Chain A
Amino acid sequence: DIQMTQSPSSLSASVGDRVTITCRASQSISSYLNWYQQKPGKAPKLLIYAASSLQSGVPSRFSGSGSGTDFTLTISSLQPEDFATYYCQQSSRIPLTFGGGTKVEIK
């Protein structure tokens, strides 16, 4: 199975900050990497697919990069509605696997 390791597991940031979350795969997954945002009590929401493509309707302050084993989600200027937990997920092969999550909290 492909293991997905996210870091950090949590972070505190202020509105307007630039935030970066990393995700590392245990083996190459090409660009089959997706990012989700989840707020408490809600279903996950797809933000970025195929490592760097912005899902329709997602604000442009979200961006993704990387390929192979190392990936990054960046929020260029954190907004109040961005405080949530973020997960990476590989869709390269079954079993699909998720990272452990990164909780973004208000500083």
Chain B
Amino acid sequence: EVQLVETGGGLIQPGGSLRLSCAASGFTVSSNYMSWVRQAPGKGLEWVSSIYSGGNTYYADSVKGRFTISRDSSKNTLYLQMNSLRPEDTAVYYCAGDTSGYSVGFQHWGQGTLVTVSS
């Protein structure tokens, strides 16, 4: 069974840093297309970042230069390093995986981890 478990969220002051982790089981992170998607309180879904199996990474303009997506094959884990955090980054962050190989949506989602940026 495929499972994604996010950790690392919490309350952080503006300008601070956090690293989110997404531990996967049932499939190999490094062989699949993985992404982070966030949802601000009461709002819709917003794509944040993606990493392809080949290692190419992509970011939303709103986080480019501040966030870094990466993965650790030995731990089968996806990460999101978030620096220079702003109040508008407050959201539930989901990791999501597309194991189809055809960019046809995210079949697998974690439960989400809440990041609150506030002084």
A91 touches B104 (CB 8 A): yes
Residues of B bordering A, CB below 8 Å: 35, 37, 44-47, 50, 58, 60-61, 94, 100, 102-107, 109-112
User: Per a CB cutoff under 8 Å, which of B44, B50, B94, B100 touches A94?
Assistant: B50
A78-107 CB mask vs B (1 if < 8 Å, else 0) is: 000000000101010011111111000000
Within 8 A of B (CB), among A13-67: 32, 34, 36, 38, 43-46, 49-50, 53, 55
Q: Which residues of A contact B106 (CB under 8 A)?
A: 34, 44, 46
Residues of chain A at interface, number, CB under 8 A: 23
Q: Which residues of B contact A32 (CB under 8 A)?
A: 103-104
Q: Which residues of B contact A49 (CB under 8 A)?
A: 100, 104-105, 107
A95 touches B44 (CB 8 A): no
User: Per a CB cutoff under 8 Å, which of B60, B102, B103, B111 touches A43?
Assistant: B111
A46 touches B105 (CB 8 A): yes
Q: Which residues of A contact B105 (CB under 8 A)?
A: 34, 36, 46, 49-50, 55, 89, 91
